[in-house]
Structure 1
Amino acid sequence: MTGATAPANGCGFDLKQKWVLVASKDGAIEIEGSVAEALPNAMFRVELTNGHKILAHISGKMRKNYIRILPGDRVIVELSPYDLTRGRIIYRYK
């Protein structure tokens, strides 16, 4: 990550300006993706930058602050190392 600054959420850029995986302290994996489909019960189908599609829900802070997620939005998803097919949307790009 030389030559680039990391945002406050801990994700960073490599020299080619592509997102890299960042493992946080609790073992969760954060990766960028785009919302492909909105599903019932505040669930979303998210296509990750590596081509995989996962099922994700909105984090509590985003729900509390009424941040709306629409299909096509670029988001950061936090994945558990135990189940890589489900995640939590923790950030929506403006």
Structure 2
Amino acid sequence: MDDEPMWAADRVVTPTPGSAITIPETANEFTIKGNHLTLVKGNQFDGRTKTDPQKHIHKFLGICDMLKYKDTENEAVRLMMFPLSLTGEAKTWLDELNEGTIEK
């Protein structure tokens, strides 16, 4: 199991201190299912000029709309999963934003 990609297994997700994304306070931690991570990772946006950010967001929101986590707002799930949908230059861009830049 150690050689499986991280998105192949269920994971507990908690907000990252100092993150550009402000996660709404939720009373519950929740586990993102491995197959949900696979869906998001399969639609990663790299920020290159030949990729379409609007198309990425549209697909990302469509994927997130299929995911339901009991007692957790869908908006919180989206905000927690969004960084996982980025790679390359797009991930670097997000990582370099000031803390709290993106919020509900």
TM-score class, shorter-chain normalisation, is under 0.3
TM-score normalised according to structure 2 size: 0.25
Which one scores higher on RCO, CA 8 angstroms, separation ≥ 6?
2
**Larger radius of gyration between Structure 1 and Structure 2:** 2
> Whose helix proportion is higher, 1 or 2?
2
> Whose strand proportion is higher, 1 or 2?
1
